[in-house]
Amino acid sequence: MPLDLDRLLNWAVPEARQRLTQRDTMLYALGVGLGADPLDPGQLRYVYEKDLQPLPTMAAVLAYPGFWQRDPALGLDWVRLLHAEQSIEIHQPLSVEGELIGRTRVTGVIDKGADRGALLLQERQITDAASGALLCTASMTSFCRGDGGFGRSQGEAPPPAEIPERAPDLVCDLPTLPQAALIYRLSGDMNPLHADPEVARGGGFERPILHGLCTFGVAGHALLRSCCDYDGGRIRSLRVRFSAPVFPGETLRTEIWRAGPDDLRFRSRVVERDRLVLNNGQARLAEPAETDSLSKTSEAAGA
């Protein structure tokens, strides 16, 4: 069944409700590699309930509606679908627990040609169920490798962030576990491409690949470690392009440039294969004093 453009553009993605718990917050952090050094107080604050904090990249998985693209009525070749781009914008300090609502909409579909696939753009707004406050926005682009050639497009892909043409200011190497995808999928993305060897081979991979959003989380960890002294509240927004898959167990080297007082650019490569896997990354930071002010305002509102 071919892709149905009009149906896809108007698809009513089910509203997602999530009862976020401290366990969920810690499991996400473990899934992207925090806690590799259990004596590091910076990492421990994200995986231990004492003074627990949420990782900013967790915004990408909150109130996730599930792998809705798998519905046969859409006509997508879902086995060949890959994560192409991801961005998050944090509007208010994230919590480690609470009830959340995620509302997802398709914002565009771009035909790249019969042999070049298509891009599927979507946006999810995550709100607090009790107050209705908008907490964060997660936007993503999927590369539908088997679905190009339908002849029409709607929407535009966001322009990439430019990477400076000079040596990086900072470099951070972080390993991933062989079982990283099996842990990470427990945060909501149950696509069998990341767990089932047979499905992975059907998608053209020798073995299950790491979730793009797990790679995204590892890069976020590198930024926290290298630039933010593990203060997650300093990251206001983050965006990146996925250029190649990662296999669980590989080491990610994140190269970081300071492009301005609050502007970081970055990219990541697999050390073992010298393969660029994340590109055109950008993070916007808040100053530490601004972070403290926001946290106090949030605490006062909660009281």
Q: Is 83 tagged catalytic?
A: no
Fill in the DSSP letter of residue 81.
E
- Point out the catalytic residue in the list 110, 126, 209, 235: 209
Nearest-angstrom CA–CA distance, 249 and 71: 31
Q: Is 110 tagged catalytic?
A: no
Residue in this structure with the two tokens 């300090």, named with its chain if needed: 93
Cβ atoms of residues 239 and 56 within 8 Å: no
Q: Is 189 tagged catalytic?
A: yes
Q: What is the CATH number of the domain that holds 256?
A: 3.10.129.10
Burial 211-237 (b: 16+ CB within 10 A, else e): bbbbbbbbbbbbbbbbbbebbbbbbbb
- Point out the catalytic residue in the list 83, 194, 211, 221: 194
- Point out the catalytic residue in the list 212, 217, 233, 281: 212
Per-residue pLDDT of the chain (303 residues; tens, 9 = 90+): 567 788 888 899 999 999 999 999 999 999 999 999 999 999 999 999 999 999 999 999 999 998 888 888 888 888 788 889 999 999 999 999 999 999 999 999 888 877 888 898 999 999 999 999 999 999 999 888 777 767 677 778 889 999 999 999 999 999 999 999 999 999 988 889 899 999 999 888 999 999 999 999 999 999 999 999 999 999 999 999 999 999 999 999 999 999 999 999 999 999 999 999 999 999 999 987 554 444 443 444 343
Q: Which amino acid appears at position 183 of this protein?
A: I
* pTM score of the predicted model: 0.88
Residue 149 belongs to domain spanning: 5-302
Q: Is 209 tagged catalytic?
A: yes
The domain total for the chain is 1
